[in-house]
Structures are given as C-alpha cells and as structure tokens.
Amino acid sequence: MNHYTTQKNVQNDYQNWKLAQLILKEIANFLGSKAKFQHVKAGLENTLMNTLGDHQVHGVELFQKVDQHYLSSGFSYADISLDESESSSCLGIINTIIAEHSKEIKIPSEVGSSPDTLLIDDFKLKRNQYIDKAYHFVKSKTDDVTATNAILRSALRYGSIYAETRHIGPPQKVYDLFYKWGIRNEGFASPFNARLLGKPKAQFYSLFEDTDEIFGSGGSFFNLNHPENPGHWCLDPPFTSELMTKVDSILASWLETYKDLSFLLIIPESHAPSNVPDESVTLKKDLHYYEGLEGVLKPLPVNVCIHRYGNIEGFSSDAIEEGYSK
C-alpha cells in the first residue's frame, strides 16, 4: 500500500461523505420497520438527484436545499411513502446532524493506493476496469499522487449523494457501437462509468464539474446553454420523472435549433417522452442486461427504451438488442 498526503479538497469531500453516512444511518433508524436500509438509501439518492436538478451545489449546501417535496418525491421512487410528519422529521435529522457533527469529524491526513484498493480511512474503493481506466487517464497526465486523490475525491462526492446507481450504464460494447455511429457526447455519466472517457473527440458530462473535470468531464448537462462538442448525443438521465421531464424540455429546444444533430434517449418504458422519436428500441426486464460498476452484466430491473431522434448512420435495433444480451 502506497500512502500519500491527502489534498485539502479531498479532506472536504471526506467530511461531507461522513456527514452523509450519519444522515443515512439516523434516517434509516427513524423509519425503522417502515423501510429496509437499502430502500432508504435509494430514497435519499433520488431526493438528492432531484434537488441537484434545481440547485447546482454539493455537500452541506445540497442537504440544506432539501425540502419536504424533494423528500416525499424521492422516497416514492423507492416505494416508501412519507407523510408530512415523517418528511418533516427527516429534515430535522438532516439539520441536526449538520449542526452537531460537522466540526467533530476527524479528517485523515493520508490516502492509500494498492493494486486492489484506493482508500482514505474508512472509505475504501475496490479497483476494477472502470476505476482503473479513470485512474490511468489522470496518471498519464500527472502522477500517482494526483490520480489517487482525484479518484477518491470524486468517489467521495458521489458517495455523499448515495449515487451507486449513477455508476451503471449500457454495456461497453453497446457504447462502442454508439461511438462507431457518430455518438460523441455522453450526457449523463460519472468518471466511473463514462463509456466515452478517453475516446478521441468525445466528451462526457457529469454532475460535478469541480471533481470530474480532471477526468475530462464537461460538467452538468443541465448547465449547457447549447451543444458545445461536435457529434451526436446519448442522453441517459436518472430515472425520475422530474429529471426526465427536464431532459425532454431541453431536447425539444435542441431538436428545433440544431437540425444537424441526432440524439439517443435512454429512459424507462414507463416514461412517455414528450418528443416523438423517429425510432424506439425496447429492452426487456430480466431479458436484457446493463453493466454495473464492477463490469458485470446484470438483468435490467425494468423495461428500458432507447429512442432515436434524427438520422444516425448505421443505427441498428438488432445490434443494440444483441449488445444488451449476454
């Protein structure tokens, strides 16, 4: 295990991650038998995702933007119904933990790197093909110290919003097809699942520009006023109605303004897009597979549609269905 000095910005994100874990633990304890721990975690993730759709902040500031509407809506996606009293109590837990625990968290002075793991104190990140791809992308331009700190900082940031599901995505072989067909922009990704990371003339976009820019991220899709990088787009937003509706609105404007661009929109079949696609491919629950952070194919939990807007030379529904199969 190699040890390096923890950079200041990594220390800040470690503190936010610790606070987020305390918040999760206390809200899970409060809800008790009403919901399983993993469901509470998913509820908080969706809560924060929707909050981020309206407020481009992070850490303590993000939690302070959460209100009862974000909570009740976010938890509903995890099949947890919060009444007004429960959502109010959850807000109280968030504010109490921030007020009482922010200054007592011990900040580690070192980060560690081994062939199998990257770590900072009790936060451990198991290395795999996607983490190593991001690590070597940074290392090729800097050094081991910078790469280790950069990976941990970004992982802590996503961990602080419980965003495990943001590291899944289409199988790499499917995205290789997309790239072959002219897709050069990946609208919703992280450094740990960006299928276009490192590909020539390609750009991915992610939630946090400050942590992810070092990996080549263009920042949040929602902060773009217009398409900046040439080439077609694939948009795979979080599966909440609030965020998918925002994407529908932006897509409508771009389709009208940028006639030479084409788009793929990946959303659950249950969400009817407001823009009528030129073609749709439906991937079936339990029959087709997504690729997780660890690089393992897992069955889709819901039916998913890939909607095509505009002409994409070479596009093949059969090839996509085959790519999503084992």
Q: How far is CA 52 from CA 34, 45, 56, 64, 291, in A?
A: 26, 10, 6, 12, 24
Q: What is the mean predicted confidence (pLDDT) over 252-272?
A: 96
Q: What is the pLDDT of residue 80?
A: 97
Residues whose CB falls within 8 Å of the CB of residue 49, separated by 6 or more in sequence, listed in order: 74, 161, 163, 238, 240, 243
Q: By the 8 A CB rule, do 49 and 243 touch? A: yes
User: How far apart (Å, rounded) are the C-alpha atoms in residues 128 and 118?
Assistant: 11
Backbone φ and ψ for 282, nearest 5 degrees, come out as: -105, 125
Beta-ladder partners of 266: 306
Q: pTM, whole model, 2 decimals?
A: 0.92
More confident: 169 or 124: 124
Q: What is the mean predicted confidence (pLDDT) over 140-156?
A: 97
Q: What is the pLDDT of residue 103?
A: 87
Question: How many percent of the chain have pLDDT more than 90?
Answer: 92
Mean pLDDT of the residues in the chain: 95
pLDDT at 104 over 60: yes
Q: What is the pLDDT of residue 293?
A: 72
pLDDT at 65 over 60: yes
| Confidence label for 295 from pLDDT (cuts 50, 70 and 90) | confident
Q: What is the pLDDT of residue 22?
A: 98
Classified by CATH at the fold level, domain 166-323 comes out as Rossmann fold (3.40.50)
Domain residues of the chain, as ranges?
Answer: 2-6+106-163, 8-101, 166-323
Q: What is the mean predicted confidence (pLDDT) over 26-34?
A: 95
Task: Select from 275, 273, 274 the least CA-distant residue to 305.
Answer: 273
pLDDT at 165 over 60: no
Question: Helix (H) and strand (E) counts for the chain?
Answer: 11, 12
